[in-house]
Amino acid sequence: MDTSQKCFHCGLEIKKSDLIVFEGKDFCCKGCQTVYEIFSSNDLGCYYDFENSPGATPLDIEGKYDFLDNDKILEKLLDFQEESTAVVSLTIPHIHCSSCIWILENLQRLESGIRSSMVNFNEKTVRITFHSDEVSLKKIVNLLSSIGYEPYISLENYETGTKKEDRSLTIKLGVAFFCFGNIMLLSFPEYFETNEFWIDQYKGFFRWLIFALSLPTFFYSASGYYISAYKSLRTRMLNIDIPIALGIVVMFVRSTVDIIMGYGQGFFDSLAGLIFFMLLGKMFQIKTYNFLSFERDFKSYFPIAVTKLSQGLEESVPVYDIVKGDRLLIRNQELIPVDGILLSAEATLDYSFVTGEANAIVKKSGDKVFAGGKQIGQIIEMQVLESVSQSYLTQLWSNDVFQKKVNQHFKTITDKISHYFTPILLLISFAGFGFWVYFDLNTAFNVFTAVLIVACPCALALTAPFTFGNILRILGKKKIYLKNALVIEQLAKVNTLVFDKTGTITTTEKATIDYQGQEISAQQEIWIKNSLRASNHPLSRMLYNFLPEAAFLNIDRFEEFVGKGIQTYFDGNKIVLGSSDFVENPQPSPVVETSIHIAINDVYIGKYVFKNAYRNGLSALFSSLSQKYELHILSGDNEGERRFLADFLPKNTQLVFNQKPEQKLEYIKTLQEKGRNVMMIGDGLNDAGALAQSNVGISVSENVNVFSPACDAILDASEFQNIGQFLKLSKQAIKIIKMSFALSLLYNVVGLAFAVTGNLLPLVAAIIMPLSTITIVSFVTVMSSIYARKLNLK
């Protein structure tokens, strides 16, 4: 039942109070409406024709890009500057669809000084050519920001290198194909008839031409394998490129000997074919992997929201929309998502996430604060220095400090196999050669090269990365962000689910709140609201959103007691909010309910009573989960909801209330000692210990910045009802890997059997080997996508 409207420009939901209607369309804010106006008055309405709601709200950047007036900086940023023409490449994170391409390539309509612009979609960059005497870079950047396409300008990062590498592979592939095709054509005459007079006449010409054509591909295209094999030999290891390099060299030498001595045609066609198909396989592999990891790093959802202060208003924005110069509000227990400068007087930061040390560090106003720290105590304001580096945060997350001691089952299999594979293979090939040399030298050589080429360990090594890579990408799109691929394996093994109540199965969005007690004056309400502002507890957030807008006050002192409440001081007034006991309620009521009690200056005032709203689809989710998993609900709240939950949820769900954080941890430990494999789903606040203890810890994020590093996955609250599907998908991922292992093992056994008995022509081996790589990679990628679609996850 979604009755809210979506903004025509950016597609986000519009709050009733903010609705702006212009030319018959709905907009969520003045920014979006302004961009629409710019577009429609410049005849650029086409922007909206390609995709629905392609826009982004333009951010306020007054004065932010003044540094672009500096000539030295301009020099660094511009790709080209000669007379009056300049070219610049800007990275624009918001590029995500064809509308973006369209508008960015039509910038000349918005600004006459721009001559042309070209978008590179995969890299999210736009290359703008402009007249530097008509328009400055600063003006262009301001223009881009005003239409919602603010560029990301970083003076430190200069990424080169990867581009050049890709190009060399393309050229190698081109060379290999050129040589392969021509060699095949020139080999045709000899295929058909070897005894005709005509052929004898011209044999030499053809053969030496073929030899000449094979040189580029042998020396240049295959060079990657030689280098890799040589490096591996130097370190006394045997990697999988050694058999390949050996096979190629042997083939070449043997074929050359053949044509010099006149024994035969040689095997240059197989050689060129082999090199070509293997490079093709490599390119396919790289492209698929780039696609998967690009999607994960740039397009997938890293569900941390931070509170941004713009023009005195607080708004919750996703972490990857933060840019330099933004002012952020960081609450107690919240993570500092980016490097920045502290604006508030003092901050106490816990960098255990980054350094592993739990000693809090005190910072003063003006100090630089680094990403990854957790604020303890007062709310602080900071100014952003860098945009968030999603990969940096993910790196921190994967820090050894937080690795659980899990069985890396599939990785070890792949490792073991690679270790033994090459020696065994070399053994078989030499044995085969040794065997056949007594019968027929020709066959002996054939067997030797065929064995070396047909056995493909790459399938075994590639299966796990590609399957997991694709699954991570699919899950990322569905707003569940996993720490790394190991989590998928763990998810598949889980048999017990433990849910937290508040904030996990209840939603902070829809609760109804009732006040009971003495009248609260306006001043007291302002105090209460400001106390709540500093706390990140779901109940605090709910109540904060419920109370009317109030001016911001400076807090003298703030303390949050986990599981109990918060205590704040304003100008000597003491505000205590929390549980009935914490507030020292003189008349505790026997009724059990979720509530926040208030005491101001040690006088009990009243309480806010919350009616919990449970998430959509909760009952259906639990019924389907109870068929395969043991379900538990652990709540820090009181028993008030027990009857309701007992009716609402399946019969054998365990309901435990009044759990302190340490008790939750103990509970999970007990389950594990009984041999259960436990997955904990919580909100990350007071479940941190339990999340760390469980085999898999998932933290449910509902627009809050609670990032507990102990969790293994972050799930956006809107996708909560799909937990069952995610678990199923992870199980199927393991199934896919097993199937693919079996396939490639089968393939290897059959191939080797043919090769050793002398029935496999090197040419056929040359084609089959890279084909197997391509098949396995496609197989796992396609299968995982199919399973995901079946589960309606796509």
Nearer to other proteins, 109 or 557 (CB): 109
Which residue in the set 22, 26, 91, 121 belongs to the binding site for other proteins (CB under 8 A)?
121
CB of 119 to other proteins, least distance (A): 5
What is the spatial distance between Cα 135 and Cα 84, in angstroms, rounded to a whole number? Answer: 10
- 123 is a contact residue toward other proteins (CB under 8 A): yes
Torsion of CA 398, 400, 404, 407, to 10 degrees: 90
Mark the segment that binds other proteins (CB under 8 A) among 167-175, 406-414, 460-468, 472-480.
167-175
What is the spatial distance between Cα 448 and Cα 253, in angstroms, rounded to a whole number? Answer: 13
CB of 205 to other proteins, least distance (A): 7
590: exposed, middle or buried (C-beta count within 10 Å: 0-12, 13-18, 19+)? exposed
Which residue in the set 98, 512, 516, 670 belongs to the binding site for other proteins (CB under 8 A)?
98
Nearer to other proteins, 43 or 549 (CB): 43
The helix or strand, by DSSP H or E, that contains position 603, with its residue range, turns out to be: strand 603-611
Which residue in the set 46, 227, 257, 742 belongs to the binding site for other proteins (CB under 8 A)?
46
Nearer to other proteins, 185 or 592 (CB): 185
Q: Within 10 A of 567 (CB to CB), how many other CB atoms are there?
A: 19
Nearest CA among 525, 515, 529 for reference residue 566? 529
For the record, the structure tokens of 196 come out as: 């005709």
Pairing of strands 678-682, 713-716: unpaired
Q: Is 372 left (phi over 0), alpha (psi -120 to 50) or beta?
A: left
Q: What is the footprint of other proteins within residues 183-202 (CB under 8 A)?
A: 186, 198, 201-202
Mark the segment that binds other proteins (CB under 8 A) among 120-128, 219-227, 418-426, 735-743.
120-128
Which residue in the set 19, 38, 102, 763 belongs to the binding site for other proteins (CB under 8 A)?
102
Cβ contact 602:583 at 8 Å = no
For the record, the structure tokens of 281 come out as: 């396989």
Question: Using CB under 8 A as the criterion, what x/- string covers residues 641-670 for binding other proteins?
Answer: ------------------------------
Mark the segment that binds other proteins (CB under 8 A) among 119-127, 479-487, 542-550, 675-683.
119-127
Which residue in the set 15, 30, 109, 419 belongs to the binding site for other proteins (CB under 8 A)?
109
- Residue 328's alpha-carbon distances to 107, 313, 381, in angstroms, are 32, 11, 6
Tell me the number of residues near other proteins by CB under 8 A: 28
E strands, 732-772, are: none
Mark the segment that binds other proteins (CB under 8 A) among 98-106, 221-229, 381-389, 559-567.
98-106
- 178 is a contact residue toward other proteins (CB under 8 A): yes
3: exposed, middle or buried (C-beta count within 10 Å: 0-12, 13-18, 19+)? exposed
Mark the segment that binds other proteins (CB under 8 A) among 152-160, 170-178, 389-397, 663-671.
170-178
For the record, the structure tokens of 165 come out as: 């590498």
Which residue in the set 15, 30, 76, 167 belongs to the binding site for other proteins (CB under 8 A)?
167
- Coil, strand or helix: which one is 58? coil
Mark the segment that binds other proteins (CB under 8 A) among 160-168, 410-418, 607-615, 662-670.
160-168
Mark the segment that binds other proteins (CB under 8 A) among 85-93, 121-129, 232-240, 734-742.
121-129
Output the furthest CA–CA distance in the chain (Å, rounded): 116
Which residue in the set 6, 93, 105, 139 belongs to the binding site for other proteins (CB under 8 A)?
105
Give, rounded to a whole angstrom, the gap between the first and last alpha carbons of the chain. 22
What does the DSSP 8-state code read for residue 78? E
Question: Using CB under 8 A as the criterion, what x/- string covers residues 734-763 for binding other proteins?
Answer: ------------------------------
Go through 761-783 and write b for each residue having 16 or more CB atoms within 10 A of its CB, e for each that does not.
Answer: bbbbbbbbbbebbbbbbebbbeb
Question: Which residues bind to other proteins, rule: CB under 8 A?
Answer: 43, 46, 98, 101-102, 105, 109, 118-123, 163, 166-167, 170-171, 174-175, 178, 182, 186, 198, 201-202, 205, 209
